[in-house]
Structure 1
Amino acid sequence: MILHTLLDYDVLRVIWWLLLGVLLIGFAVTDGFDLGVGTLLPFVAREDVERRVVINTIGPIWEGNQVWLVLGGGAIFAAWPHIYAMSFSGFYLAMFAALFALILRPVGFKYRSKRESPRWRSNWDWCLFIGGFVPSLIFGVAIGNVLQGVPFHFTPDMRMVYEGSFLGLLNPFAILCGLLSVAMLVMHGGAWLSVRTEGAVADRARRFATVAAIATIVLYALGGVLVWQWVGGFQWTSPHLANGPSNPLMKTVQAGVAGGWLVNYAAHPWTMLAPALGFLGALLALLGLRARWERLTVIFSGLSIAGIILSVGASMFPFIVPSSTHLPSALTVWDASSSHLTLFIMLVCAVVFVPIILGYTAWVYSVIWGKVRPRDITHGDHAY
């Protein structure tokens, strides 16, 4: 109870905002190379054995990497219920498409090699491609829409009403963010394949990852320019009540502020480390691919992904999901969380279980580490 007293409501809200970012980065960095490998599968492997090699680079670990997605969804549901309600209502069709694509992955892994038919296996290979490409694109499109504001509002009795459409999500800036998401995950997946494979497959993976790293740098820079010049930011204009109730309607917000998403960088220059990491990580990954720094390249691409995600959080703080149609309904760190007690109990659980997850994840990676070779596939009893 002493710790509960010391951790004020505003402190817990910031902690859970940071933890949400950690969970998103954990998902993007670990399951990100799974998605990137799935996207690359039809292009880096040309024969059946090569494609099985590619699949088996992620076969033993993809399920464990999904833990970060489950944790992220659970954290949003419990710590940020208003955000969960808005996201899974407003983005319902987009979420359904992403989840459907993700469901194709385990089915593809399990059923692809059940028959010798080349057509059968080719069809499942393209299903695995869909399972990698579609979620990568949709997650980026979602972030692009959040940066522009989502058309929703709360009624006086706190009932959420979404006013947009699925096609409305597919606007030019959101599509650019989606392409950036695909590029950075393909870069990460290609870097992973350069570590886990050899020969022609690794060489093709490096070539595709090199193109993806260049695309990541270009698209990220273009997105930054658009955020500065075209995408109007949001600003909280009423006094902040960091310890106040979770009622988004108790504030005033200004929209369409030119360069509004860059204000935090001027106020807190240290936050510039996030976009710098996004650019530097991609640039070092590009150099690593050319110089064949295999393990370092995976680290560099992961750092780039972390920097890009952190830059979104740093730009938007304290906003999490702004509203484009009813400004006071914007969801922020200070008015969209669960109760003080709920956040505290969740923090205790996170302190206990997250280190356990990190520990067994590290152990699994240490066990499966090394090159996947064709002979491991043709003579292995447990290979996909």
Structure 2
Amino acid sequence: MELTTLWFLIVGVMLIGYFVLDGFDFGVGMALPFLGKDNTDRRLIINTIGPVWDLNETWLIVAGASLFAAFPEWYATMFSGFYLALLLILVALILRGVSFEYRHQGKGEQWTRWFDQFIVWGSVVPPLLWGVAFANLVQGLPIGLLPNGGWIYEGTLLTLLNPYGLLGGVVMVLVTFTHGLVFISLKTTGDMRERARALATKVGIGAILAGAVFLVWTIVMHLDHELLWLIVTCAAIAALALIGGFVANLAGREGWAFTGNAVGIAFALLTIFSALYPYLMYSTIDPAFSMSIEGAASSQKTLELMTWVAVFTLPLVLAYQAWTYWVFRKRLTRETITAGAH
């Protein structure tokens, strides 16, 4: 396997790790106004991700750094073209992170209410805009060529807000919301567990229906793709996994439900990456302007050095994260929430 293809897969794996792990963080944040009857409930919900949410977000940082080093042209074109959307994501993530740390510092109800709102919107906006962005990458964008041979995005934020792109955003929101609700039921007991499981059932129906439309639409757009068999396979596995997670949730098997959702998210993203390959960005202006993996990649020596670094560091990161989840594996109850918790 060529190093360019290998790093395309590595970046994809890192993004999958981010959306699987930070995905349930987003879902937990969205659940606050639906499951938080009082402040103790809301603190209980937030504490389910308290020890891990910042660790989960590091996958985005690592994925971005890898993207910058391995495919600098892709990084530059996407970040300049999607500047406003990415800025909104960054602001939302900052407000969300600050709110986790500061909501319990005030003494008034209004203070806490404001930060709870920041958590909710900081959990809705990123998956919505990420879904819109990835859907547009698959559908194609108005990408042109610069005089020096580089690429430039010639659209605006409104260009991204097309039916297929918006559907991708809605699907991402519904799937992560379901993922987070299942995680809450996995980490809590009693009334909170049952209410989270019941809401996950309702939201899960919408996630499956919207996801099915999105996956079928993606397949139809790429019927002439040389990897159509892989696109169809990944889409089918994603659909079956989401349905399996839904059935497991109905049966009260939160662990299997969470696994099903995680696998569904992973293979939905694999569907997108399979549809992209061997390009990083399709041009709707002229297919000849499309950005190929080889054309956007760094030098061979850079990729070789990065590969050796990844071989030694990635297993350590995975081991540390697995250990963290093992340490904080116990369920939480209302009784565990103290006055100093957040």
What residue in structure 1 maps to residue 300 of structure 2? Answer: 340
Selected match of 1:275 from 222, 228, 235: 235
The TM-score with structure 2 as length reference comes to 0.96
**Kindly tell me: are residues 226 and 276 of structure 1, through their superposed partners in 2, closer, same or farther at Cα, counting changes over 3 Å?**
closer
Which of the residues 274, 279, 282 maps onto 1:319? 279
- How far residue 222 of structure 1 moved from its aligned partner, in angstroms, is 1.1
Determine helix, strand or coil for the equivalent of 1:35: helix
Identify the match of residue 264 of structure 1 among 224, 227, 237: 227
Offset from partner CA, 1:317-358 (integer Å, 9 cap, x none): 112211112322211223211111111100111111111110
2:264 pairs with one of 288, 299, 304: 304
Q: Is 1:378 aligned with 2:338?
A: yes
Please state whether the residue corresponding to 2:237 is helix, strand or coil: helix
Residue 122 of structure 1 aligns with which residue? Answer: 113
Aligned to 2:39: 48
Residue deviations 1:243-262 (CA, integer Å, cap 9, x gap): xxxxxxxxxxxxxxxx335x
Partner of 2:16: 25
The answer (yes or no) to whether the contact 2:79–2:86 under 8 Å persists in 1 is yes
Matching residue of 1:73: 64
Match of 1:222 in 2: 213
Supply the distance in 2 between the matched residues of 1:359 and 1:227 (Cα, whole angstroms): 35
- Partners of 2:14 and 2:86 in 1: CA distance: 18
2:168 pairs with 1:204: no
Quote the residue 1:330 is aligned against. 290
Q: Quote the Cα distance in structure 2 between the aligned partners of 1:194 and 1:137.
A: 23
Counterpart of 1:239 in structure 2 is none
CA distance in 2, matches of 1:270, 1:260: 12
Partner of 2:152: 161
Cross-structure match for 1:182:
173
Amino acid at match of 1:133: V
- The match for 1:193 among 184, 188, 198 is 184
Residue 150 of structure 1 aligns with which residue?
A: 141
Q: What is the root-mean-square deviation of aligned Cα atoms in Å?
A: 1.6
In the TM superposition, residue 159 of structure 1 has moved relative to its aligned partner by 4.0
| Matching residue's letter, 1:47 | D
TM-score (norm 1): 0.85
Match of 1:368 in 2: 328
> What residue number does 1:242 align with?
none
**Residue number in structure 2 paired with 1:246:** none
Distance 1:116 1:289 in 2: 38
What letter matches 2:224 in structure 1?
G
Equivalence for 1:294: 254
- What SS does the corresponding residue of 1:161 show, helix, strand or coil? strand
Structure 1 stretch displaced more, 136-145 or 37-46: 37-46
CA deviations 1:134-153 (Å, max 9, x no partner) are 00100000012112211121
Once the two structures are TM-superposed, the CA of residue 281 in structure 1 deviates from its matched residue by 1.1
Letter in 1 for 2:122: G
**Residues in 1 aligned to 2:321 and 2:262: alpha-carbon distance in whole angstroms:** 16
Q: Give the fraction of aligned pairs with identical amino acids, expressed as a percent.
A: 35
**Which has the higher mean CA deviation after the structures are superposed, 24-33 or 269-278?**
269-278
Mind listing any 5+ residue stretches in structure 1 that lack a counterpart?
A: 1-9, 234-258
Tell me the secondary structure at the aligned position of residue 150 of structure 1. Answer: coil
2:314 aligned with 1:350: no
The answer to whether the aligner puts 1:113 opposite 2:104 as a matched pair is: yes
Find the aligned partners of 2:175 and 2:224 in 1 and give their Cα distance. Answer: 25
Cα distance in structure 2, aligned partners of 1:61 and 1:289? 23
Q: How far off its partner does 1:156 sit? A: 3.2
CA-to-aligned-CA distance 1:75-112 (integer Å, 9 cap, x gap): 11000111101111000000000110000122101110
For structure 2, the 5+ residue unaligned runs are none
The residue identity in structure 1 corresponding to 2:241 is G
- The residue type paired with residue 87 of structure 2 is F
**1:248 alignment partner in structure 2:** none
